[in-house]
Amino acid sequence: MTQLEKIVLLRDELETLKLCDMDGLTQEEAGVKMGVSRGTVQRILSSARKKVAQAISECKAILLENTSCQ
């Protein structure tokens, strides 16, 4: 694991993925829960999905930054 390249998934990115992709909320609903605009959720979600897709397709480790999951 220490030899893998790492991609850092920020706390907001993880929360947005959970709310939209796991909990099934719309971007607008996720924005209300997070206290941000739908546009901000869309930007964060796009970044998170790109990081996860890159990690999976390129066999990189995903590090969770600033979360209680560490």
The pLDDT score that the predictor gives to residue 68 is 57
What is the torsion angle, in degrees rounded to the nearest 10, for the CA atoms of residue 65, residue 55, residue 30 and residue 20? -140
Q: How many CA atoms lie within 13 A of 52 on its CB side?
A: 14
Q: DSSP for 23-56?
A: S---HHHHHHHHTS-HHHHHHHHHHHHHHHHHHH
Section 47-68 average pLDDT = 91
Q: What percent of the chain has pLDDT over 90?
A: 86
The structure's pTM equals 0.86
Domains and CATH numbers, the chain: 6-64 (1.10.10)
Which tens digit of pLDDT belongs to each residue from 12-34? 999 999 999 999 999 999 999 99
Compute the distance between CA of residue 69 and CA of residue 66 in angstroms, rounded to an integer.
Answer: 9
